């Protein structure tokens, strides 16, 4: 029995440029075509703490890692209470672009204890599935610079993303399924569908 019955919580995780947002949209469309009720969302959320986090993208040196973690947790608490839990109770398939695995990896890479970060996310529903996308760092960075034609933000420097990537590699949780995201977009989508399809039987 999936953890979030009657709904399903599927989260998309990995470093920047791995294709999370691309794959979330493709999955949402595929599920909607099959008649499933889908809600797509992302973190940082569009709430007040999410906005404060986005404002840090170009001035991350102005905040201590501990305070930054507090902001991510406050944002998640609102997002979980206001959107994720109500939609799961409504029987929706909630697709979330980044969730607490990203907090563990990014704030873990900033020097905080990954186990402690996980514990502090106890209030957040455990995903039924966390798809962890992986590409070599150079490929991810090339994809984001080419698609946005702008400089990397403070969460995206190569040295930092190297550490984030190591944190993601170390994560071992039952909800995690790893996907090689170096393949073309449709092949990755087929891999995602193969992971999601067995969960749909319970809906
Ligand atoms: P993320 O949300 O993980 O940062 P995006 O989905 O925004 O990544 O993708 C970043 C860029 O890489 C986009 O231009 C997207 O079209 C491209 N992209 C995504 N997946 C692939 C893939 N499998 N192969 C090649 N390019 C991809
Ligand atoms: Mg994205």
Ligand nearest to the CA of 16: 1
Return the pLDDT at 1: 62
Ligand closest to 155 (CA) is 1
Contact between 101 and 133 under an 8 Å Cβ cutoff? The reply is no
Is 185 near ligand 1, meaning CB less than 6 Å away? yes
Residue 18 CB less than 6 A away from ligand 1: yes
> Does the CB atom of residue 20 touch ligand 1 within 6 A?
yes
Q: What pLDDT, on a 0 to 100 scale, did the predictor assign at position 18? A: 97
Encode pLDDT of 60-115 as tens digits.
889 999 999 999 999 999 999 999 999 999 999 999 999 999 999 999 999 999 99
Q: What is the pLDDT of residue 108?
A: 98
Is the pLDDT reported for residue 190 higher than 80? yes
In angstroms, what is the span from residue 22 Cα to ligand 1's centroid? 6
Bridge partners, residue 38, by sequence: 93
- The CB of 16 under 6 Å from ligand 1? The reply is yes
| Residue identifier of the C-alpha nearest atom 12 of ligand 1 | 143
- Is the CB of 19 inside a 6 Å radius of any atom of ligand 1? yes
Helix axes 137-148, 158-170, angle to 10 degrees: 130
More confident residue, 194 or 152: 194
For residue 156, the ligand closest to its alpha carbon is: 1
**What spacing in Å lies between the alpha carbon of 164 and ligand 1's midpoint?**
18
Q: What is the architecture of the domain spanning 8-195?
A: 3-Layer(aba) Sandwich (3.40)
Cα 20 to ligand 2 centre (Å): 5
Task: Please determine, for residue 149, whether its predicted confidence score (pLDDT) is greater than 80.
Answer: no
The answer to whether residues 72 and 98 touch, using CB atoms and an 8 Å cutoff, is no
Which phi and psi angles does 195 have, rounded to 5°? -80, -35
């Amino acid at each position: 029995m999936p953890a979030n019955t009657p709904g399903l919580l599927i989260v998309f995780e990995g470093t920047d440029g791995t294709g999370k947002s691309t794959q979330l949209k493709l999955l949402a469309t595929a599920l909607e075509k099959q008649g499933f009720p889908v809600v797509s969302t992302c973190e940082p959320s569009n709430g007040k703490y999410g906005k404060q986090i986005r404002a840090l993208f170009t001035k991350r040196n102005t905040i201590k890692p501990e305070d930054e973690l507090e902001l991510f947790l406050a944002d998640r608490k609102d997002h979980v209470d206001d959107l994720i839990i109500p939609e799961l109770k409504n029987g929706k398939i909630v697709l979330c672009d980044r969730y607490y695995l990203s907090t563990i990896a990014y704030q873990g890479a900033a020097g905080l204890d990954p186990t402690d970060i996980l514990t502090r996310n106890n209030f957040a529903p455990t995903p039924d599935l966390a798809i962890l996308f992986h590409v070599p760092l150079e490929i991810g960075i090339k994809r984001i610079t080419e698609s946005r034609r702008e400089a990397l933000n403070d969460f995206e420097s190569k040295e930092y993303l190297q550490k984030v990537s190591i944190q993601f590699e170390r994560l071992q949780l039952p909800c995690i399924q790893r996907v090689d995201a170096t393949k073309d977009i449709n092949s990755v989508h087929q891999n995602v569908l193969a992971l999601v399809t067995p969960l749909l039987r319970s809906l």
